[in-house]
Structure 1
């Protein structure tokens, strides 16, 4: 078991974010769970009753710069440092064919999936620099892997579903991965590790009912990776099984 640390988890009201908060609390870590409306999440309310000393709930909409700024102020009032930031909040978009997708999906999806993680990272960077672990994890997707999509076109890709539909989502995750690499290069001299993580095709509200793995299994695998990552791994892209994913 790892030494207890302070984690900030965005998109914590349901799905992977809620399960991540749950498993972190169960092993003794301190969690700041951020969501657009945390009080409306029965799961977060239950966790708060179970772990009143180790869980703080923060109202934070990652797509709203003023909300992120206010959330950052609140977090700085609660903790003098943050060990690990997990940028989990995201949206999936529709499953329309790329050639038939509503182009209006692009700005909305990029605002949440790319700009949001950047805003949260920037707001919390002073606290992360003071943390013990100094880690930032970006919850991405193999669907954003350009290398895997290219392999799929040749019939050799690992995830066939990654080449179909959800263009805005896939493009946003590819952009998020570039954000990961850019931040990793920029923050390496500060000792901060930045990594992308694919949680797998998970059965959740966002992932649908046809997932290949459930949320508890995905999070258990992700935590093993999170705990094993060191500064030499900065800029890498892992999946929840611990395998490196091609960008």
Structure 2
């Protein structure tokens, strides 16, 4: 539809018109989604503008957004009925239907990594979203919708937020999660599953076991850095033992199956 950048309105980038703001777009009422790629200090203003113009799906690619700004964004989004994916998210894709953001990279690589099918993917890592999809694709297993939810300490859509959507989706027959230390998202999901049960089989890949063996060394996304000591691999894995049966493949990798 178009791009926005204050002071650069009137330009044309590969056939895509550039505007100073969303309000200048003649067809703004037909905009379904917005991708936010601006420096962290400007993310809040960019997202507020999108929400004010009634855009209901917003993908924030920028990482390390100030947490206070993220909280304010999520409060406004909840008030206005908007869905936030990110911060620190590469986007989402429904193979053969639509793609939002930079997930999967160039179109040729996307076609190699993703194929239409019935397995949903929710991942805290953008790169691992595509890696997991490709691992499924080469085995002939297609994907329904794959979402990179973001690696910042606070994100707009968590595992629990998205799980009901997948459970209602007739195109999704199973769900695969990529989990990592940092935050309480996995523990929250485990408690939710134990309390409410599931309508879909869930496979969860838990990364980061080696990190517990290297105290004082920080790995991964901003979430794992900011929450160091609160959610280690050991505590994360323990939280899954009640609702989930696990298969131990090697000292670095665990596959958890509900």
Scaled by the length of structure 2, what TM-score is found? 0.26
Q: Which has the higher strand share?
A: 2
TM-score, length-normalised on structure 1?
0.27
